[in-house]
Amino acid sequence: MMERKTELVYEEYNDISELEAADAALLQQAREISKQAYAPYSKFQVGAAALLNNGKVVVGTNQENASYPVGTCAERVLLGTAANQFLHEPISAMAISYQGAKVLSDHPISPCGMCRQALSEYESRMKQPIRLILGGMEGHIYIIRTAADLLPFAFTSTELK
């Protein structure tokens, strides 16, 4: 038997004022776009903003549905938009924020498992890591160097070969 260890290294900032200007601007865009989320059931609005290598910004919000499994997370809405509008353009950074009628938005949240898998696949497809900037409407912010760090045992295309 062998015991192995995996570890997540990330940066933590006290608030948006400590971020580099580009990261702060991206997080602010995620905060703003979260207001446009369609979340009539959970009242939990998530916004994502991504900076592409070409300098363009793409945004996405969560889209709920009365049939709960049909809803789509902000991250996957954004990835689909980026892939369709900018076919071969990698994402260099993605900021994710949230707000809600029933929750305090004062700490970072992480993408769900399905979004982690989608982010990992997008990184692999574009052959470039996506820096994640995670924060609520206020408070601490995490920066994770690559989305793949959130899913160390990802199911990848190599399993299908």
Catalytic site positions:
75
Say which DSSP state 157 is in.
G
Q: How distant is the alpha carbon of residue 59 from its chain centre?
A: 10
The CA dihedral of 17, 25, 120, 65, to the nearest 10 degrees, is 110
Amino acid at 142: Y
Displacement of CA 42 from its chain's centroid (Å): 19
CA 49 – CA 31 distance, rounded (Å)? 9
